[in-house]
Amino acid sequence: MSRFKSLFIGLVCATAGVAAIAQTQAPVQTSGALVIVPAYGEVKHANDQATVTLMIEEQDKDKAVAASRVNQKMKQGMDIVRKQDPGAVLSTRGYYTYAVYADEQPQPRQASNKTRQPVGWRVGQYLDVKTSNLAGLPKTVAAAQGVLALNGLQFGLTDETTRKLDAQRIDATYRNLNERIGAIARAMGRNPADAVLDTVDFEGSGNYAQEAAAPKMMRSAMVADAAPQVEEPSFEPGETTLSMRVVGKVRFR
């Protein structure tokens, strides 16, 4: 009799174990669940604008002489750029004047407070040139390098192109949001049609990709007083990627 009793107890325990497993494997209820879904979108476009930085620096014992040469050469350089590219936008900046001191031997401690006297002056100025004439850019830069030095070069997009791309960027971002909501719904065992978009926060990160491509900088040495004709440089404008982030709040029915 005890044998049948033991068998009965074993069957009861097994049945209880199966019921417990089935209960733990029951699907999680997601009705009314609120899900935060981040999404991303980006568009690419060939750069159609360049910002060229030209500069001139002169050094002389006489500050006025150095400044006069800088002023004269900057004017010449601006005239050359305007002639080569009439549509370019020019802006000058960063006019500086620094004293130049001779290399001195270490002085005795009692003479350390001696005022140093400048042996010359260093004067310079920068010129920024913004243009969308990329085909003529090498010729313009080569002509300007006869007087000025190439200090920097950055490619990017014009304001008009950026505005045109904005709609494409929003469309790509919203499309990615819908794709991710569908994937999340299927992972939760729900029909994507049960998802109701509660809130859409475009640029939800607060910070997203920069509007312009990373600067492509080029350095050039100071030009001599009588520089020979400069061969045209080679430039590759590359492309810019515009990115956007969106955060959606989705509630399941």
Question: Do 59 and 44 reside in the same domain of the chain?
Answer: no
CATH of the domain at 55: 3.30.70.2970
Encoding tokens for residue 250? 């989705």
Question: Do 150 and 55 reside in the same domain of the chain?
Answer: yes
Q: Is the pLDDT at 60 greater than 70, yes or no?
A: yes
Edge-to-edge order in the sheet of strand 120-131: 89-100, 120-131, 49-60, 149-156
Which H or E run contains 240? strand 239-252
Residue 105 included in any domain: no
Neighbours of 207 (CB within 10 A): 7
The highest-confidence range among 14-23, 46-55, 244-253, by mean pLDDT, is 46-55
Q: Is the pLDDT at 218 greater than 60, yes or no?
A: no
What is the pLDDT averaged over residues 186-211? 72
What is the pLDDT averaged over residues 38-56? 94
Question: Do 81 and 56 reside in the same domain of the chain?
Answer: yes
Number of domains in the chain: 2
Residue 106 included in any domain: no
- Domain that residue 143 falls in: 50-100+117-156
Question: Do 146 and 162 reside in the same domain of the chain?
Answer: no
Residue 23 included in any domain: no
* DSSP assignment of 108-154: PGGGTTPPP--SEEEEEEEEEEEES--TTHHHHHHHHTTTSEEEEEE
Q: Is the pLDDT at 156 greater than 70, yes or no?
A: yes
Higher pLDDT: 74 or 106? It is 74
Which long-range contacts link 187-195 to residues 24+ away (Cβ below 8 Å)?
188/28, 188/30, 188/33, 188/252, 189/27, 189/30, 190/30, 190/252, 194/252, 194/253, 195/35, 195/250, 195/251, 195/252, 195/253
Q: Which residues contact 129 (CB under 8 A, 6 or more apart)?
A: 51, 52, 53, 54, 81, 85, 88, 89, 90, 140, 144
Question: Do 44 and 56 reside in the same domain of the chain?
Answer: no
Helix axes 137-144, 63-84, angle to 10 degrees: 160
Stretch among 51-65, 92-106, 204-218 having the lowest mean pLDDT: 204-218
What is the pLDDT averaged over residues 166-187? 90
Question: Do 68 and 148 reside in the same domain of the chain?
Answer: yes
Question: Do 149 and 62 reside in the same domain of the chain?
Answer: yes
Q: What is the pTM of this model?
A: 0.66
CA distances from 129 to 49, 89, 248 (A): 11, 6, 42
Percent of the chain with pLDDT over 90: 45
What is the pLDDT averaged over residues 50-79? 96
Q: Name the band, by pLDDT with cuts 50, 70 and 90, for residue 200.
A: confident
Q: Is the pLDDT at 222 greater than 60, yes or no?
A: no
Question: Do 133 and 194 reside in the same domain of the chain?
Answer: no
Which residue, among 60, 57, 65, has the nearest Cα to 119 in the 3D structure?
Answer: 60
Residues 251, 198: contact at Cβ < 8 Å? Answer: yes
CA distances from 85 to 22, 82, 107 (A): 78, 5, 54
